[in-house]
Amino acid sequence: MDRIAITGGAPLVGEIPISGAKNSAIKLMAASLLTDQPLRLTNMPRLADTRFLGKLLQRLGAQVIEMQMADGPETVLHTPEIVSALAPYDLVRQMRASFNVLGPLIARTGHAKVSLPGGCTIGARPVDMHLKALEALGAVIDLHEGYVYAQAPRGLKGATHRFPFPSVGATEHTLLAAVLAEGESVLENCACEPEIVDLADCLNAMGAKVAGAGTPTIRVKGVAKLHGATHAVVPDRIETGAFACAAAMAGGEVRLTKTRSDFVQTLLDKMIEAGVDVTTEPGSILIRRDIGKRLVGVDLTTDPYPGFATDLQAPFMALMTTAKGDSVIRETIFENRFMHVPELARLGADIKVHGGEAHVHGVESLNGAQVMATDLRASVSLVIAGLAAKGETVVNRVYHLDRGFERLEEKLGACGANVRREKGGESEMDA
């Protein structure tokens, strides 16, 4: 397994281009199953997760062609016919977003057998809301031997359905099915994340009739067929936020380009409150912190969008480890998302966890150590902390990072960070 070694202390100066959003790209790839015509996705991130989903889609009958064009990476997905409606345990277990092929498979073929994803390190992550919404659309669902068996032999039917919580995955999954259902669906208490708007935009470009994405109520007028389209993946707001925290942690001046500041406004507000200089322009964000200027501790609570993103909780906590004073960080989305805490403590951070709250008491400085990445966003928090720690920090289990950060060490290295990848054996995935 690869490791990333960081020698802390170098300021970051330069420009970091942000890639297309992983969490959008994988849902857009699943949307390609809804049509027998090609879907061309531009601004595609090249990540372990997108490669992995590509393999599953190929098993189901998709041709997946990746191309490097002058203006960036593209993927063309084309499924003339669904050759198998089975997503096996091994593939869904390794990447839970694979579960999202269930809706498109039922919508296109009237049946599917998809493994239940199981829990992962950040929490139990059930899929009850996905299944209830698909049932509301008329799918008949049976669960046995760890699999979801779904049938809708006469097609899905539009319905009014209210999510008990604005789940990102359940909202997206329901959209992926409702677009081909007969009649109108009204989905209430939907998640409002930018990735949902992106999915709706792509589906509309394919001929769907989706209105209201980005608000709690989404209306979908089902159509009989979707067609091919070209769609650009939105910028990755979590990569944007993580690099913003990295720049603030290391000190210096970094311009994040090819991104959108409105996607990370809540984070930027917290960074400004902590003492970071933030300047936004259309398509870019400039992050500045003078070396020697200590930030101050600020409190935050994670919430569904536009609240503070749970995926940026660990990166922001890394930033708070050396801020002056205290910071109380509340995690409300996932029940087990403080696994970076003991690893940050290995670098000298002073953090105490009480239930869903972490109390961070800022220390003057961190010291490099060996640490273990436990999940994707926790891993990047360790890299961020390592940028400011004295001496060398080695982040083990880098395969977590590779799931969601494209060329991380290259992007940081181009701004002067002393980061290198040490090659190891076989990589693996488990979340």
Catalytic residues: 120
The residue among 26 and 234 lying less far from ligand EPZ, judged by its C-beta, is 26
The residue among 255 and 403 lying less far from ligand EPZ, judged by its C-beta, is 403
Burial class (CB in 10 A: 0-12, 13-18, 19+), 175: buried
**Where along the sequence are the contacts to ligand EPZ (CB under 6 A)?**
23, 26, 97, 123, 125-130, 165, 167-170, 191, 310-311, 333-334, 376-377, 404
Cα separation, 122 vs 334, in Å, equals 6
The residue among 81 and 165 lying less far from ligand EPZ, judged by its C-beta, is 165
391's torsion region: left (phi>0), alpha (psi -120 to 50) or beta? left
Task: Output the smallest distance, CB 20 to ligand EPZ, in A.
Answer: 13
Task: Output the smallest distance, CB 194 to ligand EPZ, in A.
Answer: 11
The residue among 311 and 409 lying less far from ligand EPZ, judged by its C-beta, is 311
Does residue 274 contact residue 324 with C-beta atoms inside 8 Å?
no
Does residue 422 contact residue 4 with C-beta atoms inside 8 Å?
yes
Does residue 101 contact residue 61 with C-beta atoms inside 8 Å?
no
The residue among 247 and 333 lying less far from ligand EPZ, judged by its C-beta, is 333
261: tokens are 């500041």
Task: Output the smallest distance, CB 381 to ligand EPZ, in A.
Answer: 12
Task: Output the smallest distance, CB 364 to ligand EPZ, in A.
Answer: 31
The residue among 245 and 369 lying less far from ligand EPZ, judged by its C-beta, is 245
Distance of CA 275 to the CA centre of its chain: 27
Task: Output the smallest distance, CB 282 to ligand EPZ, in A.
Answer: 25
Task: Output the smallest distance, CB 350 to ligand EPZ, in A.
Answer: 26
Task: Output the smallest distance, CB 94 to ligand EPZ, in A.
Answer: 13
Cα separation, 246 vs 327, in Å, equals 18
Task: Output the smallest distance, CB 83 to ligand EPZ, in A.
Answer: 25
The residue among 108 and 125 lying less far from ligand EPZ, judged by its C-beta, is 125
Beta strands 147-151 and 160-162, pairing class: unpaired
The residue among 21 and 295 lying less far from ligand EPZ, judged by its C-beta, is 21
Position with the least CB separation from ligand EPZ: 169
